[in-house]
Amino acid sequence: MKGCYAVDASFGIYRLAEEHGYVRDAVREIAEGAIAPYAAEVDDKPRFPAEAREALTNAGFHAVHVPKEYDGEGADAITGAIVVEEVARVCASSSLIPAVNKLGSTPVILSGSDELKREVLPPLARGEAMFSYALSEREAGSDAASMSTRAVRDGDHWVLNGTKAWITNSGVSTYYTVMAKTDPSAGSRGISAFVVHKDDPGFSVGAPERKLGIKGSPTCEIYFENCTIPLHRIVGEPGTGFATAMRTLDHTRLAIGAQAVGIAQGAFEVARDYVKQRKQFGRPIADFQSLQFMLADMALKIEAARQMVYVAAAKAERNEPDLTFYSASAKVLASDTAMSVTTDAVQLLGGAGYTKDFPVERMMRDAKITQIYEGTNQINRIVMARQLLK
């Protein structure tokens, strides 16, 4: 799948290739046939979308980013964005399967040893394992460098102690990329990254959080109580973990942008179809110009956000120096768009939109998290401003 789009290195221009269209069609067929029918139940229960995982894994869309040398598809970043977008169009919780598999494994791909890559990436590529990412703590969210989780070398093992919070897909993932301080006196330069397996002694998962949205994706605390892992499961050199974490977010924030675009697109389509059918004053409410303007603005915002996500993905594929700005921008623009569009979708459906008979209220609840995780939009605006002022 690599190299299936054209780019201009100077301006980040891209052109979707024919293959991208095939991918979109294939994922959409799976999403509508095997994921959408369960989306409301997944939200209501709530429960993990096992049907989505099975369908995506069977089709090879659960972790398309894994390089071919580790049994993966080796898909380009735009393909990955399209997969997340199309799944999120029907179920945001399910879209976190490919999105978080990438988030959790990207540190290994960027900085891990070949030994570690050969241990953990092939099971991910084959769908035998899922990956999560563990950076945040209750008192170290936006200020991630103030984390208190520790890792100490003990002979040929590392021993971890601490707690991580808000860990997406915790309890269903096999592997967790964990950031911990190996030199507490060195600030962010004393943070290292490790891969923890769910069966490692001293590792455990807490109770799921009770959330506003994305209820099908379990979010829990994870605990390390003298958690012992092999020495080789450090990601990169000691002290490089925070830099790896930030580089990872450059590559994965755009996936949250893709998720947000998908949520917004799904809500827009429901609203568009509804106003064409709903009649008031003797005619479809789509005939009223005020509602037409709302639909036009919704479509305008969605397409602008989609283009920003794809530009960021093209830059990620080339690892361009301005990726940090574009990835943060894509995440901010798309998530703000998702919140705006889903809110308007509820409004267009009126009282019906406020009920669970239609999916737009779920989509509005799901959209909110896209403005919060992988860096709040306030933090991402700081990231963008710093890049501009360099």
Q: Distance between CA atoms of 171 and 371, rounded to whole angstroms? A: 24
Catalytic one of 85, 137, 221, 374: 374
Using alpha carbons, select from 281, 289, 298 the residue that is nearest to residue 346.
298
C-alpha distances (whole Å) from 310 to each of 47, 94, 257, 270, 299 are 31, 21, 9, 24, 17
Q: Distance between CA atoms of 55 and 52, rounded to whole angstroms? A: 5
Q: Are 275 and 291 in contact (CB under 8 A)?
A: yes
Q: Distance between CA atoms of 143 and 123, rounded to whole angstroms? A: 33
CB neighbour list of residue 179: distance below 8 Å, 6 or more residues apart? 134, 135, 144, 147, 149, 191, 192, 193, 194, 241, 242, 245
Active site (annotated) includes residue 317:
no
Q: Are 198 and 156 in contact (CB under 8 A)?
A: no
Q: H or E stretch including 15? A: strand 13-16
- What the block records as the tokens of 138 is 């209750």
Q: Distance between CA atoms of 147 and 151, rounded to whole angstroms? A: 12
Phi, then psi, of 307 in degrees rounded to 5: -65, -40
Using alpha carbons, select from 114, 87, 115 the residue that is nearest to residue 99.
87
Using alpha carbons, select from 96, 92, 95, 101 the residue that is nearest to residue 125.
101
Q: Are 179 and 196 in contact (CB under 8 A)?
A: no
Q: Are 52 and 34 in contact (CB under 8 A)?
A: yes
Q: H or E stretch including 94? A: helix 92-111
Phi, then psi, of 24 in degrees rounded to 5: -60, -45
Upstream peptide bond of 46 is cis (omega within 30 degrees of 0): yes
Q: Supply the residues annotated as catalytic.
A: 374
